[in-house]
Structure 1
Amino acid sequence: MALLHNKVAQLRVKRGPMPDALQGVTKDRIRAVLQYLDLGSNADLVDCTFAMLDAETDSWFSKAPAGAKIADGASTAHLACHIGILQRDSGKLDREGRDYWIKPLREVGGFEAITLEKGEFILGHVKAKSPNSCYRLEEALKAVLKAPDDAWRDMLAEWARDDVSRERRAFQAEMAEASRKLVDSGHAHLIKASVENYAPRFLPGYQLLYVDDADGDRVSDAEHAKMAAAGVALTLEDAMPDALLWNPDTDHLWVIEAVTSDGEVDAHKVAQMNRMAERCGKSGVGFTTTYRTWKEAAARQGKHQNIAYDSFIWIQGDPAKQFKVSG
């Protein structure tokens, strides 16, 4: 992420301020469209939509299709940097706030969820929490934004009516599911194994409060209710673990991070979650990093060596034991 931040900051210095319009679309037009859709004029949502119109800046994916631009597909991190650095000449947007600048238009079909897979963008977020998950503007809404002044309102009204069409939504769902079948969601499977196999054996008495194993809402209504009953509240400043558990007898929390590409329990994550536990009045918090195989664990730790002291490691392929990291 730091490399991306520096790259975008250098681009900002080199190019200067963003133009007032991208593909002929101004932020005033975006605000008018959002207000028509009863989405207000949220500045972050306006700027996120503007970022998705950027057909001038080369894609920031290292393995993007030849000639791809930001408009062809941008991850949450890309959009956060585009908004905060290129557009505002400030720091990147907090990606945990994506519910405010991605979710509203995604829910009505204005932003399409896509994935960069084997050098091409395919429909749907086919692997949970993948760094290749990204977004682009839906073509019909893009046409509305680019339409002449005397035509865009009628086009938008038609688009809004079409949004409730079962046929359109069924087609999108069918295509996303077809894409999902092309990719094995190993991360989601590891989270499932961590919760269903590791936790009952090594964390008796702990109850699952929250699991982050899919796209969409980070915390469901049912999980919000569980956390409220446990006296736990996650804010945008807190780390979002793959799984959060609670022992009602000891009022102690436990964090599980399932790693297939990155995201181990490191010192930074320990500090974040300790602050959360203290804020919520908990007796403490424990940590486990899980891997699918010894080979994957060795590859990650041989390179990064970032597992925090006093945390644990569990290997799905060697499930009968866990290992404590001491120092």
Structure 2
Amino acid sequence: MAKGGLNVKIMELRAARLKELGAAVPDTFQGVSKVKIRKVLTQLHLGSNVDLVDGVFALMDNETPSWFAKAPEGATFSDGATTAHLACHIGILQRNEFKLDREGRDYWIKPLRDLGGIEAILLHEGEFISGHPVAKSPNSAYRLSEDLKAVLRAPDDQWEALLSKWSAEDAVRARREFQALAAEAAKLLVGTGHSALIQASIDQYAARFLKGYEVVYVDDGDGDRITDEDRAKLAKAGIELTLADAMPDVLLWNRQTDRLWVIEAVTSDGEVDLHKVAQLSALAKRCGKVGIDFTTTYQTWKEAAARQGKHGNVAVGTFIWIQGDPAKHLLVQSFN
């Protein structure tokens, strides 16, 4: 949509809401008011930045459908908004004034981006992925990090303690490092395949969520399925993997707990289903391991939805991780 068209669209939206609801925006989004946002930002010495307060409020907006023409189904403004979207939300929808000058984005995006509270993302093939891997793309966008949203949504007697942990120097550094890795990996999402997803599953997912685990086997589909180097690592972990066993994409071992963890990276098929759980659980038992856990990884939510919408074969009690949305680690549960 042309810039002028977006401005008109937002003015029409504002007018329609005023007529129907009496207000262009509610007092809160996700239970969070501008007063609460200002309190949180004040603790970060950013409370006087009115544009930033309103920008965070906009990025909490999970009631307005996404302004991207080809957004994921059901996406809202909070799932991802461009600089122009934010400028219109703040200037037109919230204030009934002119769209903010996009050149001021360093004032109402950068301060929280530097702290890892605002994440850079890209709308790619109908899915939001980490980083801005395509220079000057009109689909480059931003969203609030999940942990900052947790601080904002926390009760009045809890948010200050959460914010203190969130804003600690080590925590900020860790978030920035993770976002940098995720952004770098996002560059590989365009036109890359199984091997790249396996590597991302190790470098991003395992490094963040599987602390204490070390990789003892990787099946990247090249050369011998079990090399001499693999056998040495497996032997050190007390594992005998034979060609008769189900070959996981990645096998990890925690030497302190003596548990195993399997990662299956899916670009076409090969999820952790009930059959694979049974096979590899038998391997863990045969090798005397305390237990074994499983994760299926996908490049994007779109691919995960397409696979699971058709097959629904990821086993209950296992995990799912999405490379394009790398900060989440999802447990598959059933109420049956």
1:124 partnered with 2:131? yes
The aligned residue for residue 66 of structure 1 is 73
Q: Which runs of 5+ in 1 are unaligned?
A: 185-327
The aligned residue for residue 14 of structure 1 is 16
| CA displacement, residues 301-325 of structure 1 (integer Å, 9 cap, x when unaligned) | xxxxxxxxxxxxxxxxxxxxxxxxx
Secondary structure, aligned partner of 1:97 = helix
Secondary structure, aligned partner of 2:65 = coil
Matches within 5 A, 1:308-327: none
Distance 1:163 1:100 in 2: 24
Alpha-carbon spacing, 1:163–1:44, altered in 2? closer, same or farther (3 Å): farther
Distance 2:61 2:161 in 1: 25
1:56 partnered with 2:71? no
Distance 1:23 1:145 in 2: 9
The aligned residue for residue 80 of structure 1 is 87
Instruction: Say if 1:54 and 1:71, in contact at 8 Å, map to a contact too.
Output: yes
Query: Once the 2 structures are TM-superposed, how far is the Cα of residue 181 of structure 1 from its aligned partner?
Result: 2.8
Matches within 5 A, 1:294-313: none
Instruction: Say if 1:113 and 1:134, in contact at 8 Å, map to a contact too.
Output: yes
Instruction: Say if 1:162 and 1:168, in contact at 8 Å, map to a contact too.
Output: no
Query: Once the 2 structures are TM-superposed, how far is the Cα of residue 166 of structure 1 from its aligned partner?
Result: 4.4
Instruction: Say if 2:59 and 2:144, in contact at 8 Å, map to a contact too.
Output: yes
| CA displacement, residues 89-117 of structure 1 (integer Å, 9 cap, x when unaligned) | 11111111101111111111110000000
1:112 partnered with 2:123? no
Alpha-carbon spacing, 1:119–1:163, altered in 2? closer, same or farther (3 Å): farther
Query: Once the 2 structures are TM-superposed, how far is the Cα of residue 128 of structure 1 from its aligned partner?
Result: 1.3
Instruction: Say if 2:72 and 2:126, in contact at 8 Å, map to a contact too.
Output: yes
Instruction: Say if 2:115 and 2:176, in contact at 8 Å, map to a contact too.
Output: no
The aligned residue for residue 137 of structure 1 is 144
The aligned residue for residue 92 of structure 1 is 99
Instruction: Say if 1:125 and 1:176, in contact at 8 Å, map to a contact too.
Output: yes
Instruction: Say if 1:126 and 1:183, in contact at 8 Å, map to a contact too.
Output: no
Instruction: Say if 2:29 and 2:60, in contact at 8 Å, map to a contact too.
Output: yes
Query: Once the 2 structures are TM-superposed, how far is the Cα of residue 163 of structure 1 from its aligned partner?
Result: 5.5
Secondary structure, aligned partner of 2:168 = helix
Instruction: Say if 1:51 and 1:83, in contact at 8 Å, map to a contact too.
Output: yes
The aligned residue for residue 166 of structure 2 is 159
Distance 2:50 2:172 in 1: 29
Distance 2:169 2:10 in 1: 37
Instruction: Say if 2:151 and 2:162, in contact at 8 Å, map to a contact too.
Output: yes
The aligned residue for residue 282 of structure 1 is none
| CA displacement, residues 10-34 of structure 1 (integer Å, 9 cap, x when unaligned) | 0000012211111110101111111
Alignment identity in percent?
Answer: 62
Distance 1:165 1:148 in 2: 22
Secondary structure, aligned partner of 1:57 = coil
Question: Would you say how many aligned residue pairs link Structure 1 and Structure 2?
Answer: 184
The aligned residue for residue 154 of structure 2 is 147
Distance 1:174 1:35 in 2: 29
Instruction: Say if 2:59 and 2:81, in contact at 8 Å, map to a contact too.
Output: yes
Distance 2:175 2:74 in 1: 29
Residue identity opposite 1:12 in structure 2: R
The aligned residue for residue 272 of structure 2 is none
RMSD: 1.5
Match of 2:176 among 147, 151, 169: 169
Distance 1:155 1:56 in 2: 26
Distance 2:172 2:90 in 1: 32
Distance 1:90 1:14 in 2: 16
The aligned residue for residue 182 of structure 1 is 189
Residue identity opposite 1:88 in structure 2: R
Distance 1:43 1:163 in 2: 28
1:31 partnered with 2:28? no
Instruction: Say if 2:119 and 2:179, in contact at 8 Å, map to a contact too.
Output: no
Query: Once the 2 structures are TM-superposed, how far is the Cα of residue 56 of structure 1 from its aligned partner?
Result: 0.3
Distance 1:38 1:101 in 2: 14
Residue identity opposite 1:134 in structure 2: A
